[in-house]
Amino acid sequence: MNIAIFASGNGSNAENIYHYFKKNNLPVTVALIVTNNPNAFVIERAKKMNVPVEVFYKNDFYRHPEKIIAQLKKYAVDYIVLAGFLLKIHPEIIRAYPNKIINIHPSLLPKFGGKGMYGDNVHKAVIEAGEKESGITIHFVNEEYDKGEIIAQYKIAVNELDTTETLAKKIHNLEYKYFPKTLEKVFLDEK
Ligand code: GAR
């Protein structure tokens, strides 16, 4: 089973997923990392992990999905994992990978989802709204932003002392613990 991970920035989830499948000797290979950001730290991580990286620009993501699909086919990609990927996925890519694209969102969707809601923006909004809990949502990607079928959600408590930074840390820990396990279940239960 080959997967491609799409990431726009730091890439700590991408690296965590890579190590999880390797360490546990599971038949899942991170065959490709795709980014829209030539300065993303995920590129450094990919080099260390020896995983090929493809950089595509916004124009390709929005106007030339066939270029991206061609690369995915070249690497025989079965599933796409969005781990901190900030651009919308073109419907043609969704049609090429029906129910094979999985995203992680750092809130309990449908709360705090949609356009502009990514990373620290989400945590800031959660704190400003005085929420008592937050969490992560792992879901299939469909043509409506942050609205595909939910696979799993995990929660943590938010308290009055939490800041954007402390909440981001709690959420990342939840992601590291549950995202790879949930992916494993989806990938390997299918057979
Ligand atoms: C993660 O918290 C992920 O849930 C979030 O971006 C972060 C990426 O961290 N994704 C979104 O906000 C998508 N809307 P990372 O680059 O260190 O893995």
Q: What is the CATH classification number for the domain harbouring 121? A: 3.40.50.170
Which tokens belong to 24? 């546990």
- Full domain range(s) for residue 122: 2-190
Which one of the listed residues 105, 123, 139, 172 is annotated catalytic?
A: 105
Which residues neighbour 87 within 8 Å (Cβ) at sequence distance 6 or greater? 8, 36, 58, 61, 62
Q: How far is Cα 134 from Cα 22, in angstroms, rounded to an integer?
A: 30
CB-count burial class (<10 Å; 0-12, 13-18, 19+) for 52: middle
Tens-level pLDDT at each residue, the chain (191 residues): 999 999 999 999 999 999 999 999 999 999 999 999 999 999 999 999 999 999 999 999 999 999 999 999 999 999 999 999 999 999 999 999 999 999 999 999 999 998 889 999 999 999 999 999 999 999 999 887 778 999 999 999 999 999 999 999 999 999 999 999 999 999 998 64
Q: How far is the CA of 166 from the centre of ligand 1 (A)?
A: 15
- In contact, 164 and 123? CB cutoff 8 Å: yes
- Among 118, 120, 145, 166, which is best to mutate for testing ligand 1, by the most ligand atoms less than 8 A from CB? 118
64 is catalytic: no
49, 109, 151, 172, best to mutate for ligand 1 pocket (most atoms within 8 Å of CB) = 172
Domain count, the chain: 1
